[in-house]
Amino acid sequence: MDSVNDVMIDEDGVFKYILIELCEKKRGGSGSGEQRKKLIIRGFEWAEFHADILDRVSPKFDQLGLTYECLGGGRIRHDKQQQSIHIYGYSVGFGQADHGKAQELVCLKYDYPEANITWSNSGY
């Protein structure tokens, strides 16, 4: 699971994104398992629907033996030149993602001024 990037989004433009929870089961000595979880986001301009993103990225998770769940989606407006990212909206198929969690992940990847990475629950 550590080999999976937390954030993979297009470097510029307005596009759909999804928030995904990955799970990996670690075996304990007594046979009980401890589950490790990780949140990731994926967003691409080529995606017509949010489900298109999940369809494209899920085979890698299957190969790694990870289970996954799409926790919702929305849109991202990424302006690389202005060093700004705005996360907003929802997915008709998956519902609205927790944009605050998506913002936390994006802040870890991009060294933009903190005030330039924003989110809102309004808009589509």
The catalytic residues are 50
CA 43 and chain centroid, separation = 7
Q: Cα separations (Å) of 37 from 4, 116, 118?
A: 12, 28, 25
Side chain identity at 3, as an amino acid letter?
S
Side chain identity at 53, as an amino acid letter?
I
Contacts for 109 with CB less than 8 Å, ≥ 6 apart: 6, 7
Hey, which bits of the chain come out as E strands?
7-9, 13-27, 33-44, 67-79, 84-88, 117-119
Nearest by Cα to 54 from 77, 71, 78: 71
